[in-house]
Amino acid sequence: MLKELDALSIMEFHDRMLAMQAWPQTEPDTSLTGAWQWIEANHRYNTLLWNEEDKARRTDVGPGEIATSKRLIDQYNQKRNDAVECIDEAILMELADITPSGNARLNSETAGAMIDRMSILSLKIFHMREQTQRTDADGDHIEKCTAKLQRLTLQRQDLGTCFNQLLADSLRGHAYFKIYRQFKMYNDPTLNPYLYGKPGQDGAQGVSA
């Protein structure tokens, strides 16, 4: 499976999903297995998150609609991070028989986190390209957005190179990474004091800087 998991394939997958008119409201692709099903889920929630972040910044709606968007943002962000952890679990399962050498380097960023960044960059590239194609914007806007698009494209290419290197080195036992749980406290009713108690009560005070 890892031989099929390379940066170019992931980037093309991200771009292909974004090009679908009904994305991300379409049903998940049940034919995907292993890390790919979680790459799809991560990309789906990143896309939903992106769209909801735009909605949350509207000034033509009431506070109720903004609050709804904020809650959806929290939900999508949690599911996005859950998918990253599942990507790492799937990849590490494939690497289970590889014993890192004594001088193997520990990569602080996981493969799943890098795929998550590729997903976000694909969204930035997609929407920045839309800006370069606007007919209602002046030439200066188009020029600036074109320059930004070129830089974003280069950033994604560089990230892809680093991702491929991490997987190659991990397969050779020259590098390894671990699953780092996000522990999003604000979404956990047992950890967020505003959910398990009222601010000002014992055990629910805010933290001073």
Concatenated DSSP letters of 60-86: SS-HHHHHHHHHHHHHHHHHHHHHHHH
Tell me what pLDDT residue 56 has.
85
Identity (one letter) of the amino acid at 16?
Answer: R
**Distance from the Cα of residue 74 to its chain's centroid:** 14
Model confidence band, residue 186 (pLDDT cutoffs 50, 70, 90): confident
Task: Report the DSSP beta bridge partners of residue 105.
Answer: 175
Name the phi and psi angles at 38, rounded to 5. Answer: -85, -25
3-state secondary structure of 176: strand
* Average pLDDT of span 15-27: 93
Residue recorded with tokens 């914007």: 137
**Peptide bond just before 24 cis, omega within 30 deg:** yes
Tell me what pLDDT residue 201 has.
53
**Most confidently modeled range among 67-81, 104-118, 181-195:** 104-118
> Is 144 within 8 Å of 68 (Cβ atoms)?
no
Query: How far apart are alpha carbons 90 and 196 in whole angstroms?
Result: 34
Query: How far apart are alpha carbons 86 and 34 in whole angstroms?
Result: 9
Identity (one letter) of the amino acid at 186?
Answer: Y
- Residue 207, pLDDT > 60, answer no
pLDDT digits (tens, 9 = 90+) for 36-80: 999 999 999 999 999 999 888 888 888 888 888 888 999 999 999
**Most confidently modeled range among 19-23, 66-70, 102-106:** 102-106
Higher pLDDT among residues 185 and 49, named by residue: 49
Model confidence band, residue 191 (pLDDT cutoffs 50, 70, 90): confident
